[in-house]
Amino acid sequence: MIRLGLCFFFFVVFSCFAAEQTRLPLNDYFAETWNTRSGLPHNSINSVVQTNDGYVWIATWEGLARFNGREFKLFTRTEITGLPDSGLRSLAPQADGGLYIVGARGGISHLYQGQWHAKPNATAMVNHVLKTPSDETWLALEGQGVVYREFDSAPDTAILENLSAYRLIEDKAGIIWVATSNGLYQINNKTARLITPDSGLPQSPIYTLYLTRQGELIVGSEQGAWKQVNNRFISIHAQLKNEAISSILQDDHDDLWFGTINKGVFRLSPLGLEQLDADAGLPANRILSLLQDRENSIWVGTNGGLYRLREAAFSTWTTKRGLTGDYVRTVLSHSDGSLWVGSSLGLNRIEDNKVNTFPPAYGNDPLSVLSLAEDAQGQIWLGTYTSGLMRIINGKVYPVLDRQNGLASNEVRALLFDSAGRLWVGTAAGLTRIDVDGSLKQFSSTDGLPGDFIIALSEDNYGNVWIGTGVGVASFSPNLEKFTAKVFPAHFDAEYAFGFYAESEYIWMATDRGLVRCHIPTGEMSILGREQGLPVDKLFQVVAQGDSFWLSSNRGVIQVNQKQVKQRLAQLAQNNALPIQYQLYDEGDGMLSAQANGGSNPSAVLHKDGSIWIATAQGASTIVPERLKQATKKTLPTIIEAMYVDGKMTPLVQQDEEIILPLGVSRLSFHYAGLSFIMPHRLNYQTQLTGYNNVWVNRNQLTITEYTNLPPGKYTFKVRSGYPNGQWQNNDKTLTFVIQSYFWQKTTFKIMVFIGLLALVYGLYRYRLYHYKKIEIELIKRVEQQTNDLQQQTDAFAHQATHDQLTDLPNRRAFDCWLADNFADFKQHGSPLAIAIMDIDHFKRINDGWSHIVGDRVICVVAHMLGELNESDDSQVARWGGEEFTLLFPHKTAQQAAQLCEELRVQIANYDFSNIASGLSVTVSFGVADSLAVNDYDRLLAQADQALYQAKSNGRNRVEVITL
């Protein structure tokens, strides 16, 4: 997905600062899963490790994979002669950067500095390999015990026989411990001794071993996890005694993680013993391997895929953590340090990581909370959707005011206690002020308000009360006791004011067209919106924290630098402003939903501990900005992965060696990667080619650099990677190469030509004129050809970015751009614009009943029919996602569009799909709406979606039109 502002993902893992942080509960970690659909060769992850260069390696039953954060590179026996087998059992990274790979058929391979070295095979499947400081190689074999080799090519010497050995580990005293099917063995001076039950261990198979940073030996058995203390073994936790432990990990907090045979993962920490299983999101409950990488993510290898847990930038409170409802409308930071959350199902207080619920005093129906406020005594007042104004008394919610006793409406979207102690109540039908003496005063559009739908209230530093409505903004002066309309300039095209932030002489407003700043004394306004570089028009709340503004929106939370924003606004007046730089946070950063809620207040707030809380459609999300500033201090390795010479891959050499390239090289390309697994698609890159241009060139997120027609000579290619908005680290990688010269390019030949020129001045002069003319023509042709090639490549990239790969129809991005760019024009000219959302009926049955391949063919056939409509009319057709398509009908009403949709529906229903699958029939449903009664394209889409829902509810295979 292309986003101008996805330049900063920032930053999703912060456990590298464990000493300064509180542990997250397991359920609060952000999880990701990879499997064969993601590029892995097999879903059983037998081993996952990280080597010194930063790569993550995965061993499976179908081969080896290397992960750079963006993609998996597979290594197979057909390409790598040194690989032992297709089925790989275990990986063992070495301190020198090497990696041992062992296989199911006894094969052993050593990867070191890019070179693969096959070692003599063992006689059985190798479950684990241990390389000791004395250069001995120890092998744990399936069914044949333990053998060792004095060096890699030495013959095997048996130490244990007639059992299965699973894991080997050497402690600081040089003693080797072995996990076997017969129990735990200790090998000292090549002599093995069984650890008997007298030592405290149960008499059961031992599957894994782990040596902690403190030197403690942890044993994972069929009957729990055990720790060696003073030559005896004690149970680590009583609840683990009946669990079969298959893998163990100690993380940077010194917490212990336990993978099990069939119960998922357990973590033992000061939070207690926590479990994570398939019901909570694991791909499978059989755990085969565990890893904590350099960025402190936890990798879990299961027999159903690769799973990763990371402490994300955002943590979200939902009903799973105790909230009464997930659809959160408002959040409030209380002076006592607690955080209040109002949702569609009630009111909660979060304090010390605990949630309290406040039920209504009368009745059992849940309250839909829209707004919150704290009075001077610390009491909580709340505005509701249907019950008016209420407050908390003795732990319960009591009614205060509604439509029957003074409010203009029961829908209360904003509350404000001003500096005089008066309570302002913003409702859907006007504004009510409750004075200190309890008297009420009503205000509406007849009193100077721009509209009666009140959605935001704030007080500035001058004591003015600001009122945001659906049709503009006004301020109330306490001295004049009247409202003054604050008219947005016409070119702003703004109407809704969702939230305010007061700052010295300015009031900042989150509007439906961007961030507006108003100079209070003069009323002068400026705006920062999409035209100035923000990714969205509609903003809900402004929160100032540190050097940043945090803006909530329907697309996520946007972070912008306050100083840069103010500079850009000053430059706008001079027409020389550059696009604003921003960071957009969404689901990839830990938010369960990027849809932040607005139209209720406060919908985002700065908490006393420096965290920011945002009301979203799936819980209350919180972020600690200070953690983001620390993330750039993490070391970021850079790797040159491949070099291509005229389209063919060239083997790489060590950094201090040179690559000699053949004569006539015309095109070189370098592929590289920054090995961050938490933000690989948002890293920035710079390259330099010493000998050609000795300056760093910004490549942004591009991981390929190409050079053409370099003259002969010696060059050094350099590349470095950096975190978004971070300083460049000293992590550049270099590759030196030499382009050989033809004999006529050498100095000796040029001297001979010069001497010949002196002897044959006139003749060679004429010849050289002709010769240079010919070269000029050739160069022009080559430049034109390369320019054409680059243009074709650019056109192909542009097409891929805006078209669906399966159907070759425009994709959702292209549809959104077209609708966003053209909707306003249709509204301005009064021309109708109709939209239809089409869904293939019961598509899941097609996938389940026939196959996903048949489903894809059905989508292609339907797309072709829709494409024919596009060719015969001025309509626009796009694949919305999955089995949904969108159709735009310029200059047509909903009824006209519905007629076309009905023709399409009949055509599809009558189409013979038996050539795809026997017995297959397909119908579709349409939802149609037009722009005549809506003011923004989001609402148009919502109406079409509502119509589609009606079509599905009314039996499918039909066309429904929204009528207003």
Kindly state the average pLDDT of the residues 662-670.
89
Return the minimum-mean-pLDDT range out of 48-52, 76-80, 199-203, 418-422.
76-80
List Cβ neighbours of 257 (8 Å cut-off, separation of 6 or more): 248, 249, 250, 251, 265, 266, 267, 268, 290, 298
Supply 834's token pair: 């109709």
- pLDDT at 21 (0 to 100): 46
Q: Percent of the chain at pLDDT above 90?
A: 59
What does the H/E/C string look like for 753-800? HHHHHHHCHHHHHHHHHHHHHHHHHHHHHHHHHHHHHHHHHHHHHHHH
Contact 177, 184 (CB under 8 A): yes
Contact 59, 46 (CB under 8 A): yes
DSSP string for 699-750: EET--EEEEESPPSEEEEEEEEEE-TTSPPPS--EEEEEEE---GGGSHHHH
pLDDT of 577 above 80:
no
- pLDDT at 390 (0 to 100): 96
pLDDT of 573 above 90:
no
Strand partners, 354: 351
Mean pLDDT for the chain? 88
Contact 11, 679 (CB under 8 A): yes
**Crossing angle for the helix pair 761-802 and 747-759, to the nearest 10 degrees:** 140
**Tell me, what DSSP letter sits at residue 379?**
-
pLDDT of 725 above 70:
no
Q: Is 946 helix (H, G, I), strand (E, B) or coil?
A: helix
Kindly state the average pLDDT of the residues 35-54.
95
pLDDT of 787 above 60:
yes
List Cβ neighbours of 606 (8 Å cut-off, separation of 6 or more): 333, 543, 544, 545, 612
Contact 38, 72 (CB under 8 A): yes
Confidence band for 235, pLDDT divided at 50, 70 and 90: very high
The domain 638-741 having CATH identifier 3.30.1380.20: the answer here is no
Supply 494's token pair: 């703004």
Contact 81, 118 (CB under 8 A): yes
Kindly state the average pLDDT of the residues 385-403.
95
Contact 722, 736 (CB under 8 A): no
Confidence band for 353, pLDDT divided at 50, 70 and 90: confident
Strand partners, 443: 431
Element (H, E) at 868: helix 852-872
- pLDDT at 22 (0 to 100): 57
CA dihedral 219, 224, 229, 232 (to 10 degrees): -90
Spatial separation of the C-alpha atoms in residues 171 and 133, rounded to whole Å: 11
pLDDT of 688 above 70:
yes
Question: What strand order describes the sheet that includes 454-459?
Answer: 454-459, 465-469, 472-477, 482-486
* Residue (of 615, 672, 734) closest to 332 by Cα position: 615
The CATH T-level fold of domain 812-961 is Alpha-Beta Plaits (3.30.70)
Contact 138, 160 (CB under 8 A): no
* Residue (of 200, 203, 249, 253) closest to 223 by Cα position: 203
- pLDDT at 752 (0 to 100): 82
Burial of 432 per CB tally in 10 Å (0-12, 13-18, 19+) = buried
pLDDT of 782 above 60:
yes
Q: What is the CATH number of domain 320-625?
A: 2.130.10.10
Spatial separation of the C-alpha atoms in residues 863 and 906, rounded to whole Å: 15
Question: What strand order describes the sheet that includes 612-616?
Answer: 314-317, 619-623, 612-616, 604-606
Question: What strand order describes the sheet that includes 99-103?
Answer: 88-93, 99-103, 108-112, 115-119
631 versus 302: the higher-pLDDT residue is 302
Return the minimum-mean-pLDDT range out of 5-9, 28-32, 272-276, 813-817.
5-9
pLDDT of 502 above 70:
yes
Return the minimum-mean-pLDDT range out of 390-404, 569-583, 836-850.
569-583
Distances (CA, A) of 764 to 241, 750, 760: 94, 14, 6
Compute φ and ψ for 681, nearest 5 degrees: -85, 0
Spatial separation of the C-alpha atoms in residues 141 and 179, rounded to whole Å: 11
pLDDT of 10 above 70:
no
Rg (CA), the chain: 34
Spatial separation of the C-alpha atoms in residues 485 and 475, rounded to whole Å: 7
Burial of 403 per CB tally in 10 Å (0-12, 13-18, 19+) = middle
- Beta strands (DSSP E) in 304-409 are 305-310, 314-317, 328-333, 339-343, 346-351, 354-358, 369-374, 380-384, 389-393, 396-401
- pLDDT at 457 (0 to 100): 97
Q: Where are the alpha helices (DSSP H) in 227-266?
A: none
671 versus 14: the higher-pLDDT residue is 671
**Tell me, what DSSP letter sits at residue 313?**
S
Kindly state the average pLDDT of the residues 602-619.
94
Q: Are strands 733-739 and 658-661 parallel, antiparallel or unpaired?
A: parallel
Q: Which long-range contacts (CB under 8 A, 24 or more apart) does 103-111 make?
A: 104/61, 106/141, 107/83, 108/84, 108/139, 109/82, 109/83, 109/84, 110/82, 110/152, 111/82
Q: Percent of the chain at pLDDT above 70?
A: 95
758 versus 169: the higher-pLDDT residue is 169
- pLDDT at 870 (0 to 100): 65
Select which of 883, 884, 903, 960 is catalytic: 883
Q: Is 85 helix (H, G, I), strand (E, B) or coil?
A: coil
- pLDDT at 745 (0 to 100): 66
Distances (CA, A) of 120 to 84, 102, 109, 115, 483: 10, 11, 9, 17, 88
Spatial separation of the C-alpha atoms in residues 247 and 908, rounded to whole Å: 54
- pLDDT at 20 (0 to 100): 38
Q: Are strands 224-229 and 232-235 parallel, antiparallel or unpaired?
A: antiparallel
Spatial separation of the C-alpha atoms in residues 236 and 219, rounded to whole Å: 10
- pLDDT at 770 (0 to 100): 78
- pLDDT at 9 (0 to 100): 33
Cα torsion angle, 434, 436, 439, 441, sign: negative
Contact 854, 800 (CB under 8 A): no
* Residue (of 453, 548, 452, 551) closest to 499 by Cα position: 551
Question: What strand order describes the sheet that includes 354-358?
Answer: 328-333, 339-343, 346-351, 354-358
What does the H/E/C string look like for 464-497? CEEEEECCEEEEEECCCCEEEEECCCHHHCCCCE
Supply 529's token pair: 């919106």
Residue 150 known to be catalytic: no
- pLDDT at 630 (0 to 100): 64
pLDDT of 590 above 90:
no
pLDDT of 478 above 90:
no
List Cβ neighbours of 330 (8 Å cut-off, separation of 6 or more): 341, 342, 369, 370, 371, 372, 600, 601, 602, 603, 615
Amino acid identity of residue 571, one-letter, is Q
Residue showing tokens 């559009």: 445
* Residue (of 264, 202, 213) closest to 236 by Cα position: 202
Spatial separation of the C-alpha atoms in residues 184 and 219, rounded to whole Å: 8
Q: How many CA atoms lie within 13 A of 462 on its CB side?
A: 16
- pLDDT at 855 (0 to 100): 87
DSSP string for 22-83: PPPPGGGSEEEEE-GGGT-S-S-EEEEEE-TTS-EEEEETTEEEEE-SS-EEEE-TTT-TT-
pLDDT of 694 above 60:
yes
Q: How far is CA 844 from the centre of its chain?
A: 27
